[in-house]
Amino acid sequence: MKKRLIVSCLLLLAWSGIAVEELYRQFQPSRTTRRRESTEWSITYTYNALDRKHPRLLLIGDSICNGYQGTVRNKLGKIVNVTFWASSKCVTDKDYFRELDQILSAYHYDVISFNNGLHSLTTDRKEWRNAYSAAVDFIRKKCPDARLFLTNNTPLRDPGKTAQAQELNRIIAETAREKNLPVIDLFSLMDPLDRNQFWNDTYHFRKPAVEMQAERIAETVRSLPGIAGEKGDLVQRGTETGPDGALK
């Protein structure tokens, strides 16, 4: 009897482990018409990874996120640690949720900025809406204590592509209202700017525009009670094992 009880407990623990491990499968799309790009990529850094005492901000996005993450860290490095995950994957890609699960499981996050869309300009809108909403629900399920912000998509140098980004941003705004979540509006911040002066190419920005994006995110985090703290004495530790040498 005692032996059977032990076996039953072990089986229960095993099944519980599977349930936790596969939680993301409950949210990922069951089917999609999305075709992957010729080159798919993911980049993730966790700065000051050994520090578990201070708040941590998670930035999720694409190459725009990769562009501003370093500047955000420079602005917040004395009060908040930063992790970022930038990827080409559209939320309609089932593998997106597997990677997202890995990122969300790695650390405790106090604030999350979630963006997806510029690699989804031609994705079926219904599929994207459903997958985007599911991704938001998954983040909230995995990180219920984090303060989640939906960060919308930046405008592009091409008017037609900008109109497509606006369509996705309307879905983001609707999702935010439905789920009672705040939006970090980078589109309205960038849209009035001169395309020739502030854009590097169709998608990406020059340093002054990146600085503006980073400040919008940083000021959002600074304004959160109980997150930034009062002393601003957080020490960022570097490493000698960065991919390009020493990482400070």
Query: What predicted TM-score, i.e. pTM, was given to this entire model?
Result: 0.90
- Alpha helices, H only, the chain: 2-21, 63-76, 94-106, 125-142, 159-179, 187-190, 195-198, 207-222
- 96 domain-assigned: yes
Distance CA 106, CA 109 (A): 9
What was the pLDDT predicted at 7? 43
Cβ–Cβ < 8 Å for 94, 233: no
- 31 domain-assigned: no
What was the pLDDT predicted at 11? 45
CATH (domain of 213)? 3.40.50.1110
What was the pLDDT predicted at 21? 53
Distance CA 110, CA 13 (A): 29
What was the pLDDT predicted at 230? 59
What domain count does the chain have? 1
Taking the alpha carbons of 118, 132, 106, 74 in that order, is the dihedral positive or negative?
A: positive
- 20 domain-assigned: no
Distance CA 12, CA 22 (A): 15
- 52 domain-assigned: no
Determine the number of helices (DSSP H) and then strands (DSSP E) in the chain: 8, 8
Tell me which residue range forms the domain holding 174.
60-225
Mean pLDDT, each 10-residue run in order, the chain (248 residues): 48 46 90 95 97 96 98 96 98 96 98 98 98 98 98 98 98 98 98 98 98 98 83 87 76
What was the pLDDT predicted at 242? 79
What was the pLDDT predicted at 247? 75
What was the pLDDT predicted at 6? 46
- 16 domain-assigned: no
